[in-house]
């Protein structure tokens, strides 16, 4: 593996915690081992505000998959859970973003690392800072904790009631 790898997961449709739990389980079946998991945060949507609040969390994973293969696995899990890509920033039952893959910096039509908008998204930075505040972003030279402190996003990100992520969607 090429350093510390972080994913962000979110959902704002149906039983949000179920979708996230199922996604984590399916990722593990594809060679992705979760080694650290943040708390779950409830966040207001950005962009299209007339939609339900999201649940978001960050995970640190270990994998032998290269960045492109990991991205393909994330997309495969989304599709297997019924994600249909529609309106940009619209509601979704599951969203899996690769935030960082070690010190890799790359930009192509199919993969950009680090995630291109992470520095402007409190809903991604807050959970990530909980598990990796000291992680040094390879593109900016700032730690995740520093990026959270200067993040221009003032949207609501609050700790969600603690509960287990379940893995049996009813939808």
From the list 16, 26, 95, 121, the catalytic residue is: 95
Residue 108 buriedness (CB in 10 A; 0-12 / 13-18 / 19+): exposed
Is 103 assigned a catalytic role? no
Reply yes or no on whether 66 is catalytic: no
Size of the chain, expressed as the number of residues it contains: 171
End-to-end Cα separation, the chain, in angstroms: 35
Q: Is 97 marked active-site?
A: yes
Q: Which of 83, 117, 149, 156 is catalytic?
A: 83
Q: Active-site residue among 92, 117, 120, 149?
A: 92
- Catalytic residue list contains 95: yes
Q: C-alpha distances in angstroms, 91 versus 20, 48, 94, 160?
A: 14, 9, 9, 19
Given 97, 104, 134, 153, the catalytic residue: 97
Any alpha helices (H) in the chain, and if so which ranges? 16-28, 67-80, 122-132, 144-150
Tokens at 85, concatenated:
């890509």
List active site positions: 83, 92, 95, 97
């Amino acid at each position: 593996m090429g350093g510390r790898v972080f994913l962000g997961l979110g959902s704002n449709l149906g039983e949000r915690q179920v979708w996230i739990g199922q996604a984590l389980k399916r990722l593990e079946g594809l060679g992705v081992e979760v080694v650290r998991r943040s708390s779950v945060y409830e966040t207001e949507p950005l962009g299209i505000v007339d939609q339900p609040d999201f649940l978001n969390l960050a995970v640190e994973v270990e994998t032998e998959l290269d960045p492109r293969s990991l991205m393909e696995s994330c997309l495969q899990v989304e599709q297997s859970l019924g994600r249909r890509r529609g309106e940009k920033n619209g509601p979704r039952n599951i969203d899996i973003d690769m935030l960082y893959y070690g010190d890799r910096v790359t930009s192509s039509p199919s993969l950009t690392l680090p995630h291109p908008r992470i520095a402007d998204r409190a809903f991604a930075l807050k959970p990530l800072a909980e598990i990796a505040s000291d992680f040094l972003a390879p593109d900016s030279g700032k730690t995740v904790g520093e990026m959270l402190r200067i993040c221009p996003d003032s949207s609501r990100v609050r700790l969600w009631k603690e509960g287990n992520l379940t893995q049996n969607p009813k939808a």
